[in-house]
Structure 1
């Protein structure tokens, strides 16, 4: 349910990748409400503003344009309808509410048997559209940009509450593992989201781009209210689910690890001694508390240099130790290169 973003043609449809039901959209984003944007406050990016304005333009009809990002809002809805199964549908509800409605209904219909639900909210991704009721809730926030973001976030927060309420109503809390996480750090300039005290944002290899909220619930098994400090990965979701679901046989090679023994205290140590990243020319590796980063270009590293940080003392990655600890830098680069040699070439 929600954002798929794994390919928009038939070969990549959720139905051909193990899912029995689908409600959502196939590409990177979607408007929460289509034109004429009724019931929401809408703020869109534009390369240039009406009448030669710069900064922010507010029209008499209430639509807001901003040029602070230097480009236009992506054409999210082009060839990207809301679909149920494989057929387009006309959705009239605010998108976050619609996805919640579908998730609650899915749980209600399947609570008599095992199920897997992947609910990928579009919020708080752009475009910035805050529903009227939530805009009123945050009327005290003077900056309209920040207010819309807060409205979208609060709307999603209430939606997660509705999904959890249905789990309780169905009597499944003690028989269901729930994961809640973000896919990347916040894009601060675009949405006003803050990653402080972490450095960087979405699309970067610094902690502000990689470190995200990650919560687990399994009532009666995982102790509530604890904070687990050691590094985990979204890869661990599959491994955890497979290891704790009856009748599931995991393949021989699983990238992640079962987190339940770690968060229940049955297993000591760390789930991951080493974490590896590569996205085009941007690279990173964490080994223990040490981390290397190379912020290259979109497709190649170019002339970018490796940086070295000790996260146990410098979580904000302010002090590059590459020059003062060249031996450790070389050791970590060798680790990255070894892991990289085991990876497939990127398909894009």
Structure 2
């Protein structure tokens, strides 16, 4: 163990790694084959999990925009001004410093692909929040529009969606999840030797349950029709996870790239089949609403295995800064409320003081 830790410390002292985050939308903890789901097959996610440090007691918010704000800032949701997912209560406080700001200042290329959901007005868009490459849909989902400024391109669809690319809408071709992964992987390959921070946030498997027919067919007749669509959307995500891992390997960057996988809140449609024995789901403060997957894969640096310590979304920001060799100081140090998980990633038995994490639902009218 001691020699392994020495090797890890040496690798961390070298060039900072690339960081890829994959965040799925409404895929619960139980919506992964390796977590015991009796129907859903996720071979690539299962492989990713098996090759990762994996947190068994990792918690997020019961809905998506609050979770995203905590991940981006290392600060709890209400302090970010996020109390809902719509009605302009999903807008990230302009004063907030994001992990993209911090990593960009440290020399990283920064890109976001997919779902942002922290404000659709110009001042709130990710291009003003530290991301150099922006390729996103609007609102909380493709085609969604609500009173106020929270809205996507009118009539937008999961198929051939119009996507906001830096400063204009771009009409794309294909299924949304494929489009986001394709664009992200192409962007990763274009930056030369600079490290990159790539945020891939799928809007799937969030409703509406628009799914590729071939993916729905995998589960048709095995589960109710809505679950077949939902599981089909996850199957497509799983396929893209496989493509991502192979692309990173083929590029020769596998040992220089940290891949993190998480989901944004508790499960939804899939809970009809399996919820890992938990009470509650999305939009509840029970365990089924907050427990999430958290896989950290970095071949040659992080040994696969379980981490039992209590961890949360607010811990991701300081952890990534730590891994990138960034010392948090000044306003950002005061902003961050989470702890770096790096000691646990290096040694799951590392001291980890007890803590309280309180979940508060803010979806009042």
Interval containing the TM-score (normalised by the shorter chain): 0.5 to 0.7
Counting only pairs closer than 5 Å after superposition, residues 1-348 of structure 1 correspond to structure 2 as 1-30=113-142, 77-78=153-154, 81-110=162-191, 112-188=193-269, 192=272, 194-224=274-304, 226-246=305-325, 248-251=326-329, 252-253=333-334, 254-265=336-347, 268-270=350-352, 273-280=355-362, 298=364
- The 3-state SS of whatever aligns with 2:360 is strand
CA deviations over 1:2-31 (Å, ceiling 9, x no partner) = 001011110101111000011121310015
User: Is this contact kept in 2: 1:174–1:218, CA < 8 A?
Assistant: yes
- The 3-state SS of whatever aligns with 2:210 is strand
Unaligned runs of 5+ residues in structure 2 are 1-112, 145-149, 157-161
Distance 1:223 1:180 in 2: 16
Distance 2:248 2:322 in 1: 21
> Cα distance 1:114–1:133, how it changes in 2: closer, same or farther (>3 A)?
same
Distance 1:111 1:148 in 2: 39
> Cα distance 1:11–1:152, how it changes in 2: closer, same or farther (>3 A)?
same
Higher relative contact order (CA 8 A, sep 6+): 2
TM-score, normalised by the number of residues in structure 2: 0.60
User: Is this contact kept in 1: 2:267–2:288, CA < 8 A?
Assistant: yes
- The 3-state SS of whatever aligns with 1:275 is coil
User: Is this contact kept in 1: 2:258–2:296, CA < 8 A?
Assistant: yes
User: Is this contact kept in 2: 1:231–1:271, CA < 8 A?
Assistant: no
Cα deviation for residue 267 of structure 1 reads 5.8
> Cα distance 1:95–1:268, how it changes in 2: closer, same or farther (>3 A)?
same
- The 3-state SS of whatever aligns with 2:296 is strand
Deviates more, 1:162-171 or 1:176-185: 162-171
Distance 1:21 1:84 in 2: 8
User: Is this contact kept in 1: 2:255–2:298, CA < 8 A?
Assistant: yes
- The 3-state SS of whatever aligns with 2:202 is coil
Deviates more, 1:148-157 or 1:257-266: 257-266
Cα deviation for residue 111 of structure 1 reads 5.2
Cα deviation for residue 158 of structure 1 reads 0.9
User: Is this contact kept in 1: 2:315–2:340, CA < 8 A?
Assistant: yes
Distance 1:123 1:111 in 2: 31
Higher helix fraction (1 or 2): 2
User: Is this contact kept in 2: 1:7–1:27, CA < 8 A?
Assistant: yes
TM-score, normalised by the number of residues in structure 1: 0.63
Cα deviation for residue 139 of structure 1 reads 3.5
User: Is this contact kept in 2: 1:177–1:241, CA < 8 A?
Assistant: no
- The 3-state SS of whatever aligns with 2:307 is coil
Cα deviation for residue 195 of structure 1 reads 2.3
Distance 2:206 2:353 in 1: 30
- The 3-state SS of whatever aligns with 1:130 is coil
- The 3-state SS of whatever aligns with 2:196 is coil
Match of 1:343 in 2: none
Cα deviation for residue 140 of structure 1 reads 4.4
User: Is this contact kept in 2: 1:108–1:166, CA < 8 A?
Assistant: no
